[in-house]
Amino acid sequence: MPTTRRISLTQYLVEQQREHGRIPGELRLLIEVVARACKRIAIAVNKGALGDVLGSTEQSNVQGEIVKKLDLIANEVLIEANEWGGHLAAMASEEMDSIHVVPNRYPQGEYLLLFDPLDGSSNIDVNVSIGTIFSVLRKVGHARGVSEEDFLQPGRQQAAAGYCVYGPQTTLVLTLGNGVAMFTLDRETGSWVLTAQGVQVPEDTKEFAINMSNLRHWDMPVRRYIDECLQGKEGPRGKDFNMRWVASMVADVHRILTRGGIFMYPWDKREPDKPGKLRLLYEANPMAFIVEQAGGAATNGRERILDLQPRKLHERVSVVLGSRNEVERVTAYHRDAA
């Protein structure tokens, strides 16, 4: 539902706190700090070649992927912005081998922040939408200190999740477990303005997003689903489908939140031991939380993503998310095959 009154992110958070009592002060600070960091990242992204931010570094990350300059910049901006506020115990990032505990010189809070600092890295240099994805957990238990195990909580325990898409507009999408709101960055005033709330993903769709070049590597249920879509009106679905693949999960999910669709990054047999390409803690969990909060669904083909028990920080997972009826269909095809 688009909104007409001009409401800033701060005002939205204060109102949520008042009306629903669901945002402790520390969580509010955390969201505001992440949003401010996203603004800084947006500025760097916009500078492009003028800011010498394009291209790769000489490093590769824990997943063996080449790290782009902007991956590193975004990672540093998020760490620097978040470590001193007293709201966090530790952070985990797709770009760091292990967790980053808040240094002793700062007070430690009770939240854990997880992020993919710059999602869609392959699109940075070609000026296509990219983004930042984040997830917030509460540190459970009262043990002193913080360890990797504290991060291994199922996604349903997230206190908040969101993403920022750096595209033609800079948009921050947020859930606190109470529906989904979108904020657009007003570059003239530098503030995040609420531009949609109560976002709903349509239950049905005629649009799918998958990297078709991997078709020959997929499992039968995914092949069956896509094959039926491709048969269009003449096939069992009785309707024509459209395909979109931005190769930035943030942009593909944003389209789905805006007009429906299904997004899949399934397991494939190139690397049979890896459950998929995307990461459970930094990508799948926050996106699944947002999509479910908007009335959509998210599974790994078999189980609800938010119910998966993570076993390690950089765990990967198959992802099927978006319009509820389509996600249920793909999940049913996996059940049939089993």
- Does 248 interact with ligand AHM (rule: CB under 6 A)? yes
- Provide the pairing of β-strand 180-186 with 319-322: unpaired
Count of residues that bind ligand AHM according to CB under 6 A? 13
Residue 217 and residue 195: Cα distance in Å, rounded?
A: 40
Residue 205 CA neighbour count, 13 Å, CB half:
30
Maximum Cα–Cα distance for the chain, whole Å? Answer: 66
| Contact residues for 19 (Cβ-Cβ < 8 A; gap 6+) | none
Question: What is the x/- site pattern for ligand AHM, positions 78-107, by CB under 6 A?
Answer: ----------------x-------------
Classify residue 190 as left (phi > 0), alpha (psi -120 to 50) or beta. Answer: left
Residue 42 and residue 45: Cα distance in Å, rounded?
A: 5
Question: What is the x/- site pattern for Mg ion, positions 51-90, by CB under 5 A?
Answer: ----------------------------------------
Question: What is the x/- site pattern for ligand AHM, positions 271-290, by CB under 6 A?
Answer: ------x-------------
Q: How far is the CB of 172 from ligand AHM (least distance, A)?
A: 17
Distances (CA, A) of 295 to 84, 151, 202, 225, 275: 36, 26, 8, 22, 26
- Does 265 interact with ligand AHM (rule: CB under 6 A)? yes
- Does 116 interact with ligand AHM (rule: CB under 6 A)? yes
Amino acid occupying residue 4 = T
Amino acid occupying residue 177 = G
- Does 122 interact with ligand AHM (rule: CB under 6 A)? yes
Residue 205: contacted member of Mg ion, ligand AHM, none (CB under 5 to 8 Å, by partner type): none
Q: How far is the CB of 110 from ligand AHM (least distance, A)?
A: 28
Residue span binding ligand AHM (CB under 6 A) among the ranges 50-58, 168-176, 222-230, 243-251: 243-251
Residue span binding ligand AHM (CB under 6 A) among the ranges 15-23, 163-171, 241-249, 326-334: 241-249
3-state secondary structure (DSSP) of residue 81: helix
Q: Which of 65, 125, 203, 219 binds ligand AHM (CB under 6 A)?
A: 65
- Does 116 interact with Mg ion (rule: CB under 5 A)? yes
CB 160 within 8 A of CB 181: no
Name which of 23, 147, 124 is nearest 70 in CA terms.
124
DSSP string over 316-335: EE-EEEESHHHHHHHHHHHH
Residue 211: contacted member of ligand AHM, Mg ion, none (CB under 5 to 8 Å, by partner type): ligand AHM
**Is the CB of 319 or the CB of 327 nearer to Mg ion?**
319
Q: Which of 71, 83, 95, 119 binds Mg ion (CB under 5 A)?
A: 119
Instruction: Look up residue 101 and give its two tokens.
Output: 């505990």
**Is the CB of 28 or the CB of 254 nearer to ligand AHM?**
254
CB 256 within 8 A of CB 222: no
Residues of this chain that bind Mg ion (CB under 5 A): 116, 119
Residues of this chain that bind ligand AHM (CB under 6 A): 65, 94, 116, 119-122, 211, 247-249, 265, 277
